[in-house]
Structure 1
Amino acid sequence: MVVVVQEWRPESPFEKRLQAAFAAEDLPVCLGLLRQAEIGLPVTPAAAEGREPTAWPTFTGGGRTWMAAYTSIDAMRVVLGDTAEHVRVVTFAELAAGWPDPRWGLAVNPGLTTSFFLEAGTVARLAVPSLVQERLAEPGSGPPIMQKLLRPADLYAHLAEGESRVSGYCHRARDVAHIATPAVLADALGRAHEEGVVTDEGSVNILRWRAVGLDLYRTPYGGVDEASRVAVAGWVIEEPPFVGMGLVPNADQVIREYKVDGVGLPHGTEIWELTVDGVEYRRAVYDGDLGRWVLIDDVPAGEASDGPFHRGAGGPGGAA
């Protein structure tokens, strides 16, 4: 168990604000500051040198396992002394993406008077706020561009049967803007194993639209069973590799995901094909006035000047 240190005088403006909010018992301000912060996880010298795998720094207390993290190297060294030679710096989103066990908690600055003991569900909500919360934080931002990889059956439902609703898991286009290879994109989203997601030609088909009614896009906090769902105060249970922290099941990626149920697609929704060469072609546009999909001749992303979701406007390679 970590022993509380009585004296600690933070030097950074961030830690001074955090300490002042803590002293004022203003938990919302404390959590707001932590959400934007990077935190340090102690790393053993052997792990830093590559002689052993990097392990999660944990300790036990109150019958629980806690992961230890610090708001600065100075704060960590006040508690750990000379043993704190190496640190791995992560954001809350990166921490949540690789969260090892929903039963664990996060101890921020354990051993210092300004310390926080957070449940896994709190970590998830700090890492992945809802779309509504993001809009409130950035009131001038436009509607987020969402997208979803389509299986052959999904493609048929839209183009052959006129389906104009979307269900299941989707993600923000800007979270994958750096990925322009179909197989890499499918793997990043945890969908490479699904038959037909990557076509025989090596392409992926992408449904892309502007989200309206942001409360319809629910962040999937939960777990793989009832115990893990309760541990993060979540609402959904899914089969593994579901992680329930609001991110796709890939510890090496920070891609937020959202669950929708029969949400209507707006006018102008598009279907794009991302080819193995890393080139996008717009294949279809949904006409909300006519209530049907309109097929488009092969138009590479760089030439689709009238399409709102091509590269540079929120799709892979652009910003949303």
Structure 2
Amino acid sequence: MREWEPANAFEEHLGSAFAAGDLVLCLSMLRHAEFALPITPAAAEGREPAVWPVEADDERTWMLVYTSIEAMRTGTGGAIRHCRVVSLLDLAAAWPDLRWGLAVNPGLPVHFFLESGAVARLAVPSLVQDREAEPESGVAVVQKLLRPRDVHAYLADGGSRVSGYCHHALDVAHIATPTVLVDALGQSAEEMVTDEGSVVILRWYAVGPDLYRTPYGGVDEETMAAVGGWVIEEPPFIGMGLVPNVDQLIREYKVDGVELPYGAEISELTVEGVERRRAMYNADLGQWMLIPDAPAGAPGQGHGSEGP
């Protein structure tokens, strides 16, 4: 075990919690931490792609990260001097193999070894955990893209239930182009984009957050078990609670026949980047109420307006 001195206040507090055996506090600190992910000098100069820094033992392959550049240099005996800065969320979005684990500060007195399931749950907590951590944040808003042919089932037939995958609305609020939104979610433009170039969005308050399960899982029984999950899906499913897109950090949830609450909305995001509300669900009547077109610039018609 190499000699090591904390490089900053974060490492001092982490070291104190580690010495006290307070694993819960340690993990809560790691959840929001930034890490030094070792890379080669050539990768730092852009002369070669970065590869995952790993070491293997009899148990599994471990990805190596450190809580500071100083910790990285001490932990590697000065052999590694270059890194890129990442968060647990960044790592979860690009996690290469669910059978791998994460080694934080290997070789140093304050160190942690986390299985992929622990990384997933720290990086992408459930809606229930989000609400418990920040009760003042209110009820989360989620949304789901509707295929054009599915809109009729809601508006004409009075559909009021939703199944499948939905996404945290905050994570896509910055996207104002239909094709970019479809691509960010890893979905098919051929299925989702209308003839006019728009997409249709179903958006609602996630009442009853325990109904919105974070899809930890894998592409087969082995990888599902590795992450301690419950879902098996075809690739490019990554099983860490995020859409399969390393360039977009978008949380996703899986629901099964959830009843839509009062005020759920169906909106159209046009090719011009304007979002227009088309209908609102009246749960008292069990009907969707159509919303007439509003003139350009009317309140509530721009993309990113609060809702539903």
Q: Do the structures match in fold with TM over 0.5?
A: yes
**How far does residue 304 in structure 1 lie from its aligned partner after superposition?**
4.0
Q: What are the within-5 Å matches in structure 2 for residues 171-186 of structure 1?
A: 171-186=167-182
Counting matched residue pairs gives 308
Distance 2:296 2:262 in 1: 19
Describe the superposition over 1:227-270 as per-residue Cα deviations: whole angstroms up to 9, x where unpaired: 00000000111111111000001121110000000111011111
| CA RMSD in angstroms, aligned pairs only | 1.7
Verify the 8 A CA contact 1:302 1:310 in the aligned structure 2.
no
Residue aligning to 2:225: 230
Distance 1:200 1:83 in 2: 56
Distance 1:100 1:226 in 2: 17
Verify the 8 A CA contact 2:280 2:291 in the aligned structure 1.
yes
Local SS of the residue matching 1:290: coil
Unaligned 5+ runs, structure 2: none
Describe the superposition over 1:289-320 as per-residue Cα deviations: whole angstroms up to 9, x where unpaired: 11111111223785244x8x9633158xxxxx
Residue 313 of structure 1 pairs with residue 284 of structure 2: no
Residue aligning to 2:35: 39
**How far does residue 82 in structure 1 lie from its aligned partner after superposition?**
3.6
Distance 1:313 1:29 in 2: 34
Residue aligning to 2:60: 64
Verify the 8 A CA contact 2:274 2:303 in the aligned structure 1.
no
Residue 293 of structure 1 pairs with residue 288 of structure 2: yes
Residue 153 of structure 1 pairs with residue 149 of structure 2: yes
Verify the 8 A CA contact 2:243 2:250 in the aligned structure 1.
yes
Q: Give TM-score, length-normalised by structure 2.
A: 0.96
Unaligned 5+ runs, structure 1: 316-320
**How far does residue 48 in structure 1 lie from its aligned partner after superposition?**
1.2
Residue 117 of structure 1 pairs with residue 110 of structure 2: no
Verify the 8 A CA contact 1:281 1:300 in the aligned structure 2.
no
Distance 1:36 1:300 in 2: 43
Distance 1:281 1:100 in 2: 39
**How far does residue 213 in structure 1 lie from its aligned partner after superposition?**
0.3
Q: Which amino acid aligns with 1:313?
A: E
Q: Which amino acid aligns with 1:124?
A: A
Verify the 8 A CA contact 2:7 2:71 in the aligned structure 1.
no
Residue aligning to 2:206: 211
Residue aligning to 1:92: 88
Distance 1:302 1:229 in 2: 48
Q: Give TM-score, length-normalised by structure 1.
A: 0.92
Distance 1:47 1:300, change over 3 A: farther
Distance 1:310 1:184 in 2: 14
Distance 1:166 1:300, change over 3 A: farther
Q: Which amino acid aligns with 1:203?
A: S
Verify the 8 A CA contact 1:172 1:256 in the aligned structure 2.
yes
Verify the 8 A CA contact 2:179 2:189 in the aligned structure 1.
no
Identity over aligned residues, as a percent?
66
Verify the 8 A CA contact 2:127 2:210 in the aligned structure 1.
yes
Describe the superposition over 1:55-100 as per-residue Cα deviations: whole angstroms up to 9, x where unpaired: 1111112241110000000100112244332211111111100000
**How far does residue 200 in structure 1 lie from its aligned partner after superposition?**
2.0
Describe the superposition over 1:99-129 as per-residue Cα deviations: whole angstroms up to 9, x where unpaired: 0000100000011011101000000001100
Distance 2:295 2:54 in 1: 50
